[in-house]
């Protein structure tokens, strides 16, 4: 009986032990789950407190140290609020041309009433004791800046994520705002070091020698318009060129004629951003230009047999031309910058044309007026031209001031007629106006010469050269600008050869269209 009783007790305690072991195993599993989740919960923003201390200490050791980091850091670049206050005091002293050391920083913090908030005089003194010199201050400051940018990106992306979950927010507006903010953050990291003049002289000499080797003397991208090229020697690298005119003067026709010349005659890759017309409309305009067929006939498809033949033959000139078109409406500065970089990298584009500036936007940024926004756009275009080292040609509207003036001279546009912003004139390296006297029913000049079909390209500002007026033909039937000595209107168009095969240098030569096509063995795109 005791044995059985003892045996029952044994079974009872064994069951309790098994149950305890089971509960223990469950508890162990839960602990493992918590340790897996803990790292995701405890993430800290990117920071470098030791380097922040090193930078502040170095700034109080050497008087010229602030000049090294002034462009890299601002108070918000520091993660620790105490360090933000101390750096603010140092920056205040430096900008007022006062000495920066431990004693002056402590006094400045006292004056501001921030000494206790900044950790007291003892903490400020300890910062200067933690570094031996300011030898590595720039390297340390760049790391602090990178951490600050990383924190900004985290805050930015978190805000975008939160807003993306909000179904009341329009997605297109959110994308525009996000683009603008990301552009602002990216601009903080765009810095260019100062360089000694020797390598710059070498580059300049190479450019001069290259221009001298060319028979036409072009140092930039040639437009194909002789009188204009004589004044500018082509559109130069890093230049912002503004081409402005009143509506219906032929702004788009001018840049498309120019784009055709650049791509077909000289085989130079060109990109056209059209905010006003679709890709198909742009190509139709180019076909009208090259094939010399009226636009209404192209659009309706009602062509005469000889027009079909011209379309079939001359369209081949455009078929393989290095012209890249983009018809994104309301293009933002950020989008343009991204696409332009890719075009230069992947297709070696040498010039960008924008039709037109006032239709662009600086999305995501806040402005007090449209004039301020246009100022930002023009400044961004100049910056992009310098960054990519290519010319950017942007069309612009003129205000109505021209319409109120009388006479031939009065109708010529002036720099004050640029619409919406004086910053356009300020940022541009070249400002050109298109003027067609015939549009204002002015058919003769003061000497009695006919002005019918005559267009004037007025170079009103030229940062690196002379100003003046380049005359050329405007052929309204074909919406085309041409040189004054162009006698091929209404015939098969003959073009200058692209390259001199003997020496590889671009040289103007006339070739019949049939020979031109035969040499390239082009097949029609139809």
Report the catalytic residues. Answer: 276
**Spatial CA neighbour of 230 closest among 466, 20, 514:** 466
The angle formed by the CA atoms of residues 14, 15 and 20, to the nearest 5 degrees, is: 95
Q: Is 36 exposed, middle or buried (0-12, 13-18, 19+ CB in 10 A)?
A: exposed
Question: What does the block give as tokens for 325?
Answer: 């078109």
Which helix (H) or strand (E) covers residue 287, if one does?
Answer: helix 279-291
| Residue 450 CA to its chain's centroid (Å) | 43
**What is the C-alpha R_g of the chain?**
34
Contact 79/52 with Cβ under 8 angstroms? Answer: yes
160 Cβ partners below 8 Å, 6+ apart? 174, 178
3 state DSSP class of 133: coil
**CA pseudo-torsion sign 83, 88, 94, 100:** negative
Which helix (H) or strand (E) covers residue 354, if one does?
Answer: strand 351-355
**Residue 264 — φ and ψ, nearest 5°?**
-85, -50
């Amino acid at each position: 009986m005791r044995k059985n009783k003892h045996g029952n007790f044994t079974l009872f305690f064994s069951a309790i032990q098994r149950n305890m072991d089971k509960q223990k195993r469950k508890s162990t599993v839960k602990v493992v789950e918590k340790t897996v989740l803990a790292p995701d919960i405890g993430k800290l923003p990117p920071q470098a407190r030791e380097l922040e201390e090193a930078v502040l200490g170095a700034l109080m050791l050497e008087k010229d140290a602030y000049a090294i980091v002034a462009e890299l850091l601002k108070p918000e670049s520091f993660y620790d609020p105490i360090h933000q206050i101390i750096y603010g005091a140092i920056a205040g002293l430096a900008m007022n041309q006062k000495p920066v050391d431990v004693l002056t920083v402590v006094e400045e913090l006292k004056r501001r009433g921030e000494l206790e908030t900044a950790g007291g005089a003892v903490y400020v003194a300890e910062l200067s004791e933690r570094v031996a010199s300011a030898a590595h201050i720039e390297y340390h400051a760049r790391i602090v800046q990178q951490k600050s940018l990383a924190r900004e990106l985290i805050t930015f992306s978190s805000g975008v994520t939160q807003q993306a979950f909000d179904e009341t927010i329009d997605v297109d507006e959110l994308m525009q705002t996000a683009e603008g903010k990301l552009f602002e953050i990216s601009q903080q990291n765009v810095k260019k070091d100062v360089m000694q003049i020797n390598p710059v002289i070498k580059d300049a000499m190479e450019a001069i020698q290259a221009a001298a080797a060319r028979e036409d003397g072009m140092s930039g991208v040639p437009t194909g318009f002789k009188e204009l090229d004589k004044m500018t020697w082509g559109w130069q690298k890093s230049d912002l060129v503004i081409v402005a005119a009143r509506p219906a003067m032929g702004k788009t026709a001018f840049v498309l004629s120019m784009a055709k010349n650049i791509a077909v005659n000289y085989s130079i890759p060109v990109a056209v951003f059209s905010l006003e017309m679709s890709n198909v409309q742009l190509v139709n305009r180019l076909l009208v230009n090259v094939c010399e067929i009226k636009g209404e006939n192209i659009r309706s498809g009602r062509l005469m047999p000889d027009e079909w033949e011209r379309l079939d033959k001359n369209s081949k000139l455009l078929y393989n031309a290095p012209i890249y078109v983009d018809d994104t409406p309301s293009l933002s500065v950020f989008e343009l910058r991204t696409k332009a970089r890719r075009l230069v990298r992947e297709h070696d584009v040498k010039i960008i044309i924008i039709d037109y500036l006032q239709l662009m936007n600086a999305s995501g940024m806040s402005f007090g007026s449209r004039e301020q926004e246009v100022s930002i756009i023009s400044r961004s275009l100049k910056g992009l031209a310098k960054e990519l080292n290519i010319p950017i040609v942007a069309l612009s509207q003129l205000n109505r001031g021209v319409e109120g003036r009388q006479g031939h001279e009065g109708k010529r546009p002036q720099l004050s007629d640029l619409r919406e912003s004086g910053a356009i004139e300020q940022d541009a390296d070249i400002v050109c106006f298109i003027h067609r006297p015939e549009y204002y029913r002015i058919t003769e000049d003061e000497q009695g010469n006919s002005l019918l079909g005559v267009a004037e390209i007025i170079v009103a500002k030229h940062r690196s050269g002379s100003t003046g007026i380049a005359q050329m033909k405007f052929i309204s039937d074909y919406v085309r600008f041409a040189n004054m000595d162009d006698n091929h209107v209404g015939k098969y168009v003959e073009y200058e050869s692209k390259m001199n095969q003997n020496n590889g240098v671009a040289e103007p030569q006339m070739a019949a269209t049939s020979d031109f096509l035969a040499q390239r063995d082009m097949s029609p795109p139809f």
